Amino acid sequence: MMNTEDPQILEPVQAGDGEAAGKPWSHRLMLFLRVMAGVSLCKGLHHWAVICGIGAPLPSGFDSYSTPYQVATVFFGVIDLVAGVGLWLAAPWGAVVWLTSVISMAAVELLFPQIYGGNIWIVMAEVVLLGTYLWLALMAAREQPG
């Protein structure tokens, strides 16, 4: 039986406990990025479901859709999943891929309404998410020393 008073036994390390207490904006940014990772993964899976014919807007099959719709759906099916994984792992490239996805979706909805219908609510949601990310990143950067 082990003695808990033994000075050689170390307490388990808790990842992020010391950082979260002194850097609340960094913690909020990481939480935001994790939520966006889940959203991106769901969006990517939705696009792949459409490709596979599950929940597709038309029952005729993916190959009968217009070429721009097919290209955009495959593009977002890939980039959203890659962004979700990168955000979840907190990899430096994750936010870059996510930003590319957000800006691309807003551009497709705004500039090419014939592809997905030009829903202004999606554009506004993407702009709000982009602004939230930039604001949190700026606040987290102010917490860094030097």
Note the pLDDT tens digit of each residue in 76-116.
Answer: 999 999 999 999 998 989 999 999 999 999 999 999 999 99
SS3 call for 15: coil
Tokens for 146, please give them: 């030097």
Indicate the length of the chain as a whole number: 146
**Residue corresponding to tokens 């036994």:** 9
Alpha carbon distance 31, 84 (integer Å): 13
| pTM, rounded to two decimals | 0.80
State the pLDDT at residue 15: 56
Q: What angle do CA 32, 37, 38 make, to 5 degrees?
A: 100
Q: Which residues of the chain have pLDDT under 50?
A: none
- Tally of CB atoms within 10 A around 83: 28
State the pLDDT at residue 80: 97
Tokens for 105, please give them: 């979706």
State the pLDDT at residue 8: 73
- Tally of CB atoms within 10 A around 97: 20
